[in-house]
Amino acid sequence: MKRILIFAVLVIAASLAPAQDIAGDWQGTLSVSGAELRLVLHITKAPDNSFKATLDSIDQPGANGIPVNSITLRDSKLNLDVEIVHGTYEGKVAADGNTISGTWTQGQALPLEFKRAPTPVKTEHKPAKPSDIDGAWMGTLDTGAIKLRVVFHIVNTEDGLSATLDSLDQGAMGIPTTSVTRGGSSLKIEVQKIGGVFEGKIAPDLSSIDGKWSQGGGTMPLVLKPAKDQAELELKRPQNPVKPYPYRDEDVTYDNKIQNVTLAATLTIPQGKGPFPAVVLITGSGAQDRDESLLGHKPFLVLSDYLTRHGIAVLRADDRGTAKSTGDFATATTADFATDTEAGVAYLKTRPEIDPHKIGLIGHSEGGVIAPMIAARSKDIAFIVMMAGTGVPGDQVLPAQGEAIEVAGGKSAEEAAKNAAKEKEMLTLVETEKDQAVLEKELKEKMAGDAPEAQIGLQISQITSPWFRYFLTYDPATTLRKVTCPVLAINGSLDKQVLPTQNLPPIRKALQEGGNKNFEVDELPGLNHLFQTAKTGSIAEYSQIEETMSPVALEKMSTWILKQ
């Protein structure tokens, strides 16, 4: 259920109110533990009055051109989201438009005031004569659970070697490196923004750089080789639709007034007069964009395209606090995310192209938990589709998930079962221990030696978060008994994250006990958690499979919805 959280590092232009023009260069200084870091924010304005931005950290070598993923300006309030460094900025633009006063948050909250730069600030490195290692160097990180292809783009400049990093299978491109140091055949590349370091030896014939990658206290081998073919650097995703589409494609926004969140979304509307049946897509766990982008795939883009071509309008939104949507993702629970989806349903009811009596929900993974929540309390929902939704509480889902993933990754059944038992003990601690300090101490003791200390600290913060605590104890079956609208629940037989054998029977039982007369529960052969046609269902296959979503699953959902 708890998916690998992947973010495409793109500069996304957000629609802004034209009342204030903040385009230009802005300078500010962060005071961190006695040290000062000078920052330069470059904001540009497009013809449609939208803005995009990049950030330079002048005092950190190579940390220029950091992409700002979203930028919003409403009523003089500026919000920036810089995903690659897990940083956000909230500030207020002064009436004269010359200062922005606010707070930078990155692990801790720090005051940060930007002032307009009197002249354009340039921090780029000027190119120099190419070195013998200039170019793209590609390698594969084998994390055990998944294999990730990485590419270092190395270039020589007047200030020395510089580089950027691409994580191809994560769709994360142009990650700035902090420093590139070469001494003879030794090469060291630091990527401070993600806490990573590569150290290797350059082969005499320049055929490889054999080394290791360190991140978060762990180390793994990484061999880089020249990437001479551009095709090597491109992901094959044949199902991604290409414009122009044979339907309307409209970017929209709507408000969740209950929780003061503005959702940014895409609405696709079939050709013709309508009114059309419609669905709201609900993403899985972790901060997801409207396409549910993951490992180079865009499942919700493919799904919405298929459904819209078959006469069903689709609304898909960025999660709160993600991409162009506002709000705080980190403090929200599954119940909070449900209110965001309800805001989407309310928005669809305002559109004349949509039949207000034929609005349904399609939820994937955690979204498959959210859909019944809403249907159980709202008569506005005509039907729901649960894609790999759970039927038992999270404290049962997670140990089974971990055990299945480890076995699929090559661990013995005995070792995987032992680890699952240990995980159950820790989850019980999280559920029962109310004293946070005691809980953290006991968790650290149980996890000691399993991972580097830095990773343990991160894991503890994750499993003691509001979202995680809610997920552990929430029982989907209780809600499913109250759902009276038509339900389609599907799982892939090879799903290792939400096991069909563990979850489909309780879903069927709960719907029967509640007296629901119109439901279908199906296990789709040979499909994984993403509903790709797979061999083993291992997470490592996700990025390697070119297919984004099986035609069998797409047709199953479309046909069932149209029957309703």
Helix 299-309 crosses helix 551-563 at what angle (to 10 degrees)?
50
Task: Reply yes or no on whether the pLDDT at 11 is more than 60.
Answer: no
Using an 8 Å Cβ cutoff, are 81 and 90 in contact? no
Two tokens, residue 492: 């892939």
Helix 413-432 crosses helix 466-473 at what angle (to 10 degrees)?
110
Comparing 1 with 311, the larger pLDDT belongs to 311
Instruction: Catalogue the E-assigned strands of 206-245.
Output: 209-215, 218-226
Measured CA angle at 378 (ends 374, 380), to 5 deg: 110
* Spatial distance between the Cα atoms of 89 and 80, rounded to a whole number of angstroms: 5
- From edge to edge, which strands make up the β-sheet containing 196-202? 172-176, 160-167, 147-157, 135-142, 218-226, 209-215, 196-202, 186-191, 179-183
Residue % of the chain over a pLDDT of 90? 58
* Spatial distance between the Cα atoms of 468 and 45, rounded to a whole number of angstroms: 39
What pLDDT, on the 0 to 100 scale, is given for residue 487?
98
What pLDDT, on the 0 to 100 scale, is given for residue 119?
65
Q: What CATH number does domain 135-233 carry, 3.40.50, 2.40.128, 1.10.3470, 3.30.450? A: 2.40.128
Using an 8 Å Cβ cutoff, are 374 and 483 in contact? no
- Is the peptide bond preceding residue 505 cis, with omega within 30 degrees of 0? no
Query: Which residue type, as a one-letter code, is found at position 52?
Result: K
Helix (H) or strand (E) holding 478: helix 476-480
Helix (H) or strand (E) holding 432: helix 413-432
The backbone torsions φ and ψ at residue 54, rounded to the nearest 5 degrees and listed phi first, read -135, 165
Bin 49: left if φ > 0, else alpha if -120 < ψ < 50, else beta.
Answer: left
Closest CA to 384 of 393, 375, 376: 375
What class, spelled out in words, does domain 248-393+475-563 have in CATH? alpha beta
Using an 8 Å Cβ cutoff, are 84 and 63 in contact? no
Mean pLDDT of the chain: 88
pTM: 0.74
Closest CA to 167 of 187, 147, 186: 147
Closest CA to 335 of 379, 293, 380, 366: 366
Two tokens, residue 155: 């270039």
Two tokens, residue 378: 């709202």
Q: How many residues does the chain have?
A: 564
Specify the residue for token string 């609304």: 315
What pLDDT, on the 0 to 100 scale, is given for residue 521?
98
* Spatial distance between the Cα atoms of 384 and 374, rounded to a whole number of angstroms: 10
What pLDDT, on the 0 to 100 scale, is given for residue 113?
92
What pLDDT, on the 0 to 100 scale, is given for residue 74?
81
Among 35-39, 152-156, 173-177, the range with the most confident prediction by mean pLDDT is: 152-156
- The Cβ-side half-sphere exposure at 282, using a 13 Å CA radius, reads 33
Measured CA angle at 263 (ends 106, 255), to 5 deg: 120
Boundaries of every domain in the chain:
24-116, 135-233, 248-393+475-563, 395-471
What pLDDT, on the 0 to 100 scale, is given for residue 216?
75
CA end-to-end distance (rounded Å), the chain: 28
Return the number of other C-beta atoms located less than 10 Å from residue 507's C-beta: 25
135-233 and 248-393+475-563 agree in CATH topology? no
Q: What is the pLDDT of residues 386-435, one digit of tens each?
A: 999 999 999 999 999 999 998 988 889 999 999 999 999 999 999 998 88
Closest CA to 199 of 182, 218, 174: 182
96-105, 336-345, 518-527: lowest mean pLDDT where? 96-105
**pLDDT tier, 314 (very low <50, low <70, confident <90, very high otherwise):** very high
Specify the residue for token string 């997801």: 288
23-27, 37-41, 49-53, 485-489: lowest mean pLDDT where? 49-53
* Spatial distance between the Cα atoms of 122 and 42, rounded to a whole number of angstroms: 10
Helix (H, G, I), strand (E, B) or coil at 477: helix
What pLDDT, on the 0 to 100 scale, is given for residue 121?
58
Among 75-79, 189-193, 402-406, the range with the most confident prediction by mean pLDDT is: 402-406
Using an 8 Å Cβ cutoff, are 254 and 262 in contact? yes
* Spatial distance between the Cα atoms of 11 and 71, rounded to a whole number of angstroms: 9
Using an 8 Å Cβ cutoff, are 165 and 178 in contact? no
The backbone torsions φ and ψ at residue 132, rounded to the nearest 5 degrees and listed phi first, read -75, -10
Can you tell me the mean pLDDT for 289-302? 93
Task: Name the pairing type of β-strands 354-364 and 313-317.
Answer: unpaired
* Spatial distance between the Cα atoms of 275 and 265, rounded to a whole number of angstroms: 20
Two tokens, residue 202: 């350059």
Task: Reply yes or no on whether the pLDDT at 110 is more than 70.
Answer: yes
Closest CA to 93 of 8, 19, 15: 19
DSSP 247-283: SEEEEEEEEETTTTEEEEEEEEE-SSS--EEEEEEE-
What pLDDT, on the 0 to 100 scale, is given for residue 481?
98
Using an 8 Å Cβ cutoff, are 210 and 200 in contact? yes
What pLDDT, on the 0 to 100 scale, is given for residue 25?
85
**pLDDT tier, 77 (very low <50, low <70, confident <90, very high otherwise):** confident
> Environment class of residue 8 by beta-carbon count within 10 Å: exposed (0-12), middle (13-18) or buried (19+)?
buried
Task: Reply yes or no on whether the pLDDT at 123 is more than 70.
Answer: no
Two tokens, residue 382: 């005509």
Return the number of other C-beta atoms located less than 10 Å from residue 322's C-beta: 24
* Spatial distance between the Cα atoms of 148 and 127, rounded to a whole number of angstroms: 30
What pLDDT, on the 0 to 100 scale, is given for residue 300?
98
What class, spelled out in words, does domain 24-116 have in CATH? mainly beta
- The Cβ-side half-sphere exposure at 236, using a 13 Å CA radius, reads 7
What pLDDT, on the 0 to 100 scale, is given for residue 17?
27
Fill in the DSSP letter of residue 291. T
Q: What is the pLDDT of residues 195-242, one digit of tens each?
A: 889 999 999 999 999 999 998 778 899 999 998 777 777 778 999 999
